[in-house]
C-alpha cells in the first residue's frame, strides 16, 4: 500500500491521511479500546466473539480488526512476540486514537497453585525487557491502570473463570531470559536462579510484552492492563498449548464492555475517576 509512496517525514512515518507506517491503520479505523494479543491468529479468535467485525489492515506482524462487542466499538491488533514490536503497536495505535490497551496473551506461571489453564491478571510488571529502558529510567513503574485491572477482575468474576492477580515479569527472551536452557543446555551464570528469585519476591508469571505496554501507557497518560492464560507452569513443568486462551479472550472482551459502561457513568456523574460508588451502582444494575 505504501510502496514508493512519500511519507510525511523520516521522523513522522505516516501518510497524508495519518495512516501509520507499521500498522497501516489511520484515525477512525480503531476504537479507543484495543486488545493486544501477540499472535495475529488470536486477533481473529478475539473478533469471533464480536457481533460484527472487519479487517482494518494487515502488515508484517500487525493484523488489526475492528468491530462491535455487545454494542461497544472495539479493536484488536497483534503485536508480534516481544517488546520492540509491541512498543511500535502502542505508539502507532495511540497516534490514531486508541487510549486503552489490554494485552491478551499466554504466560508461564512460576507458582504451583496457578494451574495450567488459569488466568493471570497483572497488577504490574517487572521490567526485565529492554524496550521500556529506551523510554525512561529503570526505577519508573510498569504498573497497570487500576480501572483496567478492576474491569478485568469484574469480567473474570462474571464469567466464573479461575484467575490470579499479581506481579508479572516481562523478558526479552523466551528461553535463556526465562531461565530455560538455550541450545546444548547453555545458561549463563547470571540467569541461574532467576525463577527462584522472582518467586521469592512474589512474582507470578513470565511473559514478554506487559512491561512495555504498561510503561508506555504510564508515560503517555493512557490506560493499560493484561490478562494472560497460563499455558505453562515452571514448578510442575506442564506445558499445554492454548490452555485457557479462550477464557482470556472472553475476559478481555467483556472487560472492554464493562470499562465502557463505567466511563459512561463516570461522565454522567462528572467524576474524574472510577469511584467505588460507580462500581456499586453498576453492580446493582447488572444484578437487577
Residue nearest to ligand URA (CB): 108
The neighbour count for residue 216, using CB atoms within 10 Å, is 24
Q: State which residue, 206 or 263, has the beta carbon closest to ligand URA.
A: 206
Least distance CB 218 / ligand URA (angstroms): 22
- Considering the complex, state which of residue 31 and residue 106 has its C-beta at the smaller distance from ligand URA: 106
Round to whole Å and give the CA distance between 286 and 101: 24
**Min CB(138)–ligand URA separation in Å:** 21
Residue pair 151/258 in contact (Cβ under 8 Å)? The answer is: yes
Q: Which residue has the cell 467483556?
A: 254
- Quick one: which H or E segment has residue 161? none
Shortest distance, CB of residue 39 to ligand URA, whole angstroms? Answer: 11
> Shortest approach of ligand URA to residue 29 CB, angstroms?
29
Question: Residue 264: which residues within 8 A CB-CB, separation 6 or more?
Answer: none
Query: Nearer to ligand URA by C-beta: 247 or 265?
Result: 247
Q: Of 88 and 208, which has the nearer Cβ to ligand URA?
A: 208
Q: How far is the CB of 234 from ligand URA (least distance, A)?
A: 7
3-state SS, residue 104: strand
Residue number, 172 or 281, with CB nearest to ligand URA? 172
> In b/e form, how buried is each residue of 145-161, taking b as 16+ CB within 10 angstroms?
bebbbbbbbbbbeeeeb
CB closer to ligand URA out of 14 and 179 = 179
Reported residue count of the chain is 288
> Least separation, in Å, of the C-beta of 107 and ligand URA?
5
Half-sphere exposure in the Cβ direction for 100 (13 Å, CA): 22
Would you say 232 and 244 are in contact if contact means Cβ atoms under 8 Å apart? no
* Local structure of 106: helix, strand or coil: strand
By CB under 6 A, name the binding residues for ligand URA. Answer: 106-108, 174, 178, 206-208, 231-232
Amino acid at each position: 500500500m505504501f510502496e514508493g509512496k512519500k511519507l510525511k517525514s523520516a521522523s513522522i512515518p505516516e501518510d497524508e491521511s495519518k495512516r501509520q507506517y507499521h500498522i497501516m491503520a489511520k484515525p477512525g479505523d480503531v476504537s479507543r479500546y484495543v486488545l493486544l494479543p501477540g499472535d495475529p491468529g488470536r486477533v481473529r479468535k478475539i473478533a469471533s466473539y464480536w457481533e460484527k467485525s472487519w479487517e482494518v489492515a494487515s502488515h508484517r506482524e500487525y493484523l488489526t480488526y475492528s468491530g462491535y462487542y455487545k454494542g461497544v466499538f472495539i479493536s484488536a491488533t497483534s503485536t508480534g512476540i516481544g517488546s520492540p514490536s509491541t512498543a511500535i503497536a502502542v505508539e502507532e495505535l495511540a497516534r490514531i486514537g486508541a487510549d486503552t490497551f489490554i494485552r491478551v496473551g499466554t504466560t508461564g506461571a512460576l507458582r504451583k497453585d496457578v494451574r495450567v489453564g488459569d488466568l493471570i491478571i497483572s497488577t504490574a510488571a517487572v521490567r526485565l525487557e529492554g524496550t521500556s529502558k529506551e523510554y525512561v529510567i529503570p526505577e519508573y513503574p510498569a504498573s497497570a491502570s487500576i480501572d483496567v485491572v478492576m474491569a478485568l477482575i469484574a469480567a473474570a468474576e462474571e464469567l466464573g473463570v479461575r484467575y490470579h492477580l499479581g506481579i508479572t515479569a516481562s523478558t526479552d527472551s523466551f528461553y535463556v531470559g526465562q531461565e530455560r536452557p538455550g541450545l546444548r543446555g547453555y545458561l549463563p551464570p547470571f540467569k541461574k536462579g532467576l525463577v527462584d528469585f522472582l518467586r521469592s519476591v512474589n512474582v507470578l508469571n513470565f511473559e514478554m510484552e506487559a512491561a512495555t505496554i504498561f510503561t508506555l501507557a504510564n508515560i503517555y497518560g493512557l490506560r493499560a492492563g493484561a490478562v494472560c492464560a497460563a499455558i505453562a507452569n515452571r514448578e510442575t513443568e506442564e506445558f499445554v498449548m492454548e490452555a485457557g486462551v479462550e477464557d482470556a479472550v472472553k475476559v478481555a472482551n467483556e472487560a472492554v464492555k464493562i470499562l465502557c459502561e463505567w466511563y459512561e457513568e463516570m461522565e454522567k456523574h462528572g467524576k474524574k475517576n472510577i469511584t467505588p460508588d460507580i462500581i456499586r451502582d453498576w453492580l446493582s444494575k447488572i444484578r437487577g
